[in-house]
Amino acid sequence: MNRAFNFKTIITLMITSAATLSANTHSAPQQSDMLEPESATGKSALVQNAIAQTKQLEASKHMVVSANPYASNAALEVLRNGGNASDAMVTVQTVLGLVEPQSSGLGGGAFTLYFDAKKQKLTAYDGRETAPLDVTQDLFLAKDQTPLGFFEAVVGGRSVGTPGTVALLGHIHGKYGSKPWGELLEPAIKLAEQGFQVSPRLANAIATDRERLSTDADSRDYFLPNGEPLAQGMIVKNQAYADVLRMLAAEGPKAFYTKRFAQTIVAKVQSSANKGYLSVDDFTRYEVVEREPVCAPFLRYRVCGMGPPSSGAVSVGQILMMTEAANTSDYPPESADAWQVISDATRLSFADRNTYLADPDFFDVPGWLLNENYIQQRAALLTVGKPLTQVAPGTFQNNAQSSVVEGIQIEQASTTHFSIVDSQGNVLSSTSTIENGFGSRLMVNGFLLNNELTDFSFSYENEQGLIANRVQAAKRPRSSMAPTIVMETGAPKMAIGSPGGSRIINYVANSLIRTLMWNQHPYNAINAAHISNRYGQMDVEKLKLDDELVARFKKMGYETQERDLNSGLHVIKIDKANARLIGAADERREGHVAGD
């Protein structure tokens, strides 16, 4: 049998020594609000101290910030050896797919912003999964036409869309890469064959999800050998993953989308108990889409991100523009009044998001959502000290989309983000996902398949009409991923992004407000206590927010809930005046800054 298709996963386990790792609203809450986000990282004090040393760094040449030290360090070696940001992207993503498989991988999709220093051009790349050609709009409806429960829809083949990550890596490397494609896969291949150490967060995620992982034989064999979850510190090998990467190294990224390879994935999806609709045609027809970045003015900057099918750039941009229009800079960073205004601006942006944003190839997205006059109109609704009691999508110059209505999708908090700056001045910001933690729970060829189709609205219409983000064949589901590059006088100033489901929008917008408006250090900004309000309820980060501030929110009339808000913000600030790169990783996860 050809080595590239020897897909039996080989696992070697070895326990390492303890010394090695020890208010009322128009918008209804999402069902996912009732579900805990991805569980917090379980760390011993020893591990926490070791990881903390990698959370912030200054450098002068190049830098990588990603969700795992294996990935950041491997990508740094690519940069040290003369590779550029697009080269490092291939390495960091393929390593993350191995060591952080619950969050992203070959079976998922991604959005990437790339600033080409030579051409002085910023481009957005859409590697989002697509709905199979054979799906119908009632994909997630039961026989009685009521929506399925979230995990009824997620687990199995029904939720799997056409993966876009490999195509995206190949497309961007094909345009900008300077190193041979196959060479960039070697770090992940070696790690898969020689073994990597299970991190605290991965071990905790497996233990938490063991019941669902048990539904698929390959996932069960890999993550639960002998019926027990992989434990922190174990050494794991994944020969099947290495075999796939060797095949891609030899044949190129397009090999992933050939009938010969795709049929192994299709067979898995269609033979699942919760049968899916993916076909070989979906793979052979898949294409990465180059899109214009969506940029919003904020103070003296242009904050640029991924437009539809992602809601990230539009929603983040609306929040920033309304925050500036409401003169929020007049208040100190920990002011209840400031966060009340930011929270209500966020609620207004989510009302627009849930009504007007969807795949632009299937829906005519309004062009006025970042219009300055429209933003002023929305900002006029904000009153300091007086939270909004009703929130509705906006209209502008009688141009509302009357043919569509608000639709809420269930979007979970399991994704990854990495930021890269190379010595030539190229800047990359990429957010990548398989959607829910461990995706569909289907494992094939050593990697997990996404459950991205559950990012569509489960219902396709209600009594008011059709929903923009309804399921349609070949359509890309709406996302909240917000890979962002901040521009100042035509040059990149910052690259930032985060995992976190629809709260990504909160995490990124709030961090930009802290860094750009209140001039906080990137590390302090991204690790400050989170405040998240999308649909009226004020979610405050457990054990981090001042009790007096929470009391003020309650006095204003907000319903508040303390919860884990597990972002994974990764930022690089470019200090051009001092020729410095300032990198920071979120202390809530296992992010690592690497640079010279």
Tell me the C-alpha to C-alpha distance, in Å, between residue 152 and each of 98, 148, 274, 414: 27, 6, 8, 18
Give the list of residues 6+ apart from residue 486 with CB closer than 8 angstroms, or none.
301, 302, 303, 304, 492, 493, 494, 495, 496, 512, 516
Contact present, 363 and 337 (Cβ < 8 Å): no
Q: Which stretch of DSSP H or E encloses residue 242?
A: helix 239-251
Contact present, 573 and 494 (Cβ < 8 Å): yes
Residue 194 is which amino acid? Q
Contact present, 8 and 221 (Cβ < 8 Å): no
DSSP 394-459: ---TT---TTEE-------S-EEEEEEE-TTS-EEEEEEE-SSTTTTS-EETTEEPP-GGGGSBS-
415 is catalytic: yes
For residue 418, list its beta bridge partners.
Answer: 430
DSSP 33-94: GGS--SPPP---HHHHHHHHTTSEEEESS-EEEESSHHHHHHHHHHHHTT--HHHHHHHHHH
CA-nearest of 435, 563, 475 to 29 is 563
The active-site residue, picked from 415, 416, 454, 560, is 415
Residue 7 is which amino acid? F
Phi and psi angles of residue 158, each rounded to the nearest 5 degrees, phi first: -55, -35
Q: What is the CA radius of gyration of the chain?
A: 22
Place of tokens 């995490």: 507
How many other CB atoms are there within 10 angstroms of residue 465's CB atom?
A: 12
Give the list of residues 6+ apart from residue 398 with CB closer than 8 angstroms, or none.
none
Residue 469, both tokens: 């983000």
Residue 445 is which amino acid? N
Contact present, 9 and 446 (Cβ < 8 Å): yes
Give the residue numbers annotated as catalytic, written as ranges: 415
